[in-house]
Amino acid sequence: MIVAALIAVTLLLAVLVSDVAALVQARAQLTTAADAAALAAAPVTFATFGAAGTPAAEAAAFAEANGVILIECRCPVDRSWASREVAVVVAVSVDLILLGHREMRRGQPPSSVPSLWATRHDKSKWIALEPPVQQ
């Protein structure tokens, strides 16, 4: 009887660990995909840079390449060289043994994109440079 109870508890713990591992993996996947989507959309807000579509289309392509779907892209197009912010929300479906099918979402907080940028030699800070003067 005790052996059967220990086996049941061990199986329950194994299932719980499996679900937690799936949630951690999905969260990491969402974070990576949100970062990639936001970074892919940011340059397209300035100019096309060879991209075929809009910033949202570019973000969706990078989200899909990372196994998630793009829910929202706050990436307004501004052809000036002014600084701007880009933010995305992505989602992925996770099948858990105990909790069933779940959808997880992750939003990337707006990240500031300077007009032109360079890094210091220690790469600790971004330095925004002035846009080129048109003559």
State pLDDT tens for residues 64-113: 999 999 999 988 888 777 888 888 999 999 999 988 889 998 875 555 54
| pTM of this prediction exceeds 0.75 | no
Whether 123 has a pLDDT exceeding 60, the answer reads: no
Q: Alpha helices of the chain — where are they, by DSSP H?
A: 2-44, 55-65
Predicted pLDDT at 49: 64
Residue of 67, 64, 86 whose CA lies nearest to 75? 86
Query: Domain coordinates of the chain in residue numbers?
Result: 2-115
Distance, CA of 98 to CA of 95 (rounded, Å): 9
* Dihedral class, residue 50 (left if φ above 0, else alpha if ψ from -120 to 50, else beta): left
State pLDDT tens for residues 31-58: 999 999 998 888 888 865 666 788 999 9
Distance, CA of 38 to CA of 26 (rounded, Å): 18
Containing H/E element for 85? strand 84-96
- The pLDDT confidence band at residue 129, using thresholds 50, 70 and 90, is very low
